[in-house]
Copies of this chain bind each other. A is one copy, B any other.
């Protein structure tokens, strides 16, 4: 991967966040006891003397669900399916209390189920809904899970604050299934607030990234996060399905390895019984061995580890690699084109099948739609250098792209070709690993490539040297200790077809496809040099 060394100044905001989180936790502890007592009291009153409670049995705290019965008679409906229910029909819904507001003899609840919301109403009447029942409903902490039985009622004027805008639920039974703390470390409403809001007051109420990650279980409940991780699952599914259709076989490669795979730098050490071992920085050797073992075209999806102390918006110490490797007949462009085409198909699949998720992310974050060409734009490194020089950058022919140059190039390419995805072929040999096949027509270059989304590298790949003697020669040229890579070289002594491949960072693809600004937004439980929890 092209390295970058930008250290982002997150320290300041992190400290502030920690303090805020600490304060919130303290307040929460206090409020929790209070709320639990209130809920309890609401229930106790059902047997109290103040007035007769004719709603007994229609509300309350459910005993912890321990699989005693099946309640097969309860007709549960998903919130997003409510609009298909017959007018005035009675349904059961399980969901979270998103917001609640008790107002005299009425209680308004917004019930949330993943990204769908619906308004629920309880109003005291003479026979079925007692004031105790309304009070109980109003005392349930936000984010608690409840079961309700309710009548589906059409409304005249749209309910703008809910995803179900044309109906509301008139509650006839309500039970608390699982209570949330009364005081939460963050409010879903705040965590979900659009970044593009025009309201300066609203923009002040931001949830800091560390607060989000420290309380990921809550943070993941926002509509944007629900969408991000569903789309991420889609990227993996598309990657695998597209390659399976092209005749690739999925393999699984070991993460614990006996020797550091890429030279020993930036590798995590593991205690392995009485020995030391390492965490694989890439599945590359194993993918190549699978090719040498006649699997012809392989892919693997799995954890990749980098012990790099990079605290940037795009580095993680553990991420998911989408890796592929493919034997070819005579030219590595057979592979390059297969990878390029795979990306095109992924982008089309996302556009066509995940429009709802993309829109949900767009509700919170400012995102330009992702643009791509078919077939993808392919440039040679020398062309990129020319474009950069024309834009005023001073650089040598064989110099690697700096991070600012990489980003500038992305903008230049976007302006000239109107695409957010492109392939850069023929990298200088000097900046690639020893196992990269040199360009046969120009010894300064190599049969290697990177691919970019919105100006950031998301794939690095190459034709690998499949000839053991030449591999030794190139390793020596790089001053690599041959004894340490003997096993790697040995794999090519039993006949190996020419092959090429590449590794894709899953979280980067999702971040850049959606135009997000930090890779921690696309890793469900991110790991970086300073974060190992949750």
Contact = CB atoms under 8 A, between A and B. Distances in A.
A496 B273 contact: no
B177 A497 contact: yes
Interface string A217-260: 11111000110011011001100100010000111111111100
Contact of A272 (B96, B258, B268): B268
A507 to B, nearest CB: 9
Interface in A157-187: 177-181, 184
A70 B336 CA distance: 13
A244 B249 contact: no
A268 B268 contact: no
Contact of A71 (B144, B330, B441): B330
B180 A256 contact: no
A79 to B, nearest CB: 12
Copies in the complex: 2
A472 interface: no
Interface in A301-342: 301-303, 305, 307, 309, 317-318, 320, 329-333
A66 interface: yes
A29 to B, nearest CB: 11
A184 to B, nearest CB: 7
Contact of A216 (B65, B293, B495): B293
Contacts of A125: none
A289 interface: yes
A467 B36 CA distance: 14
Nearest to A289: B217
A392 interface: no
Given A66-B447, A330-B65, A532 B494 contact: no
Contact of A438 (B66, B76, B333, B491): B66
Interface of A: 64-71, 74, 76, 94, 96, 113-114, 143-145, 177-181, 184, 216-221, 225-226, 229-230, 232-233, 236-237, 240, 244, 249-258, 268-273, 275, 277, 279, 286, 289-290, 292-296, 301-303, 305, 307, 309, 317-318, 320, 329-333, 437-438, 440-441, 447, 463, 466-467, 470, 487, 491-498, 506, 523-525, 527, 529, 532-534
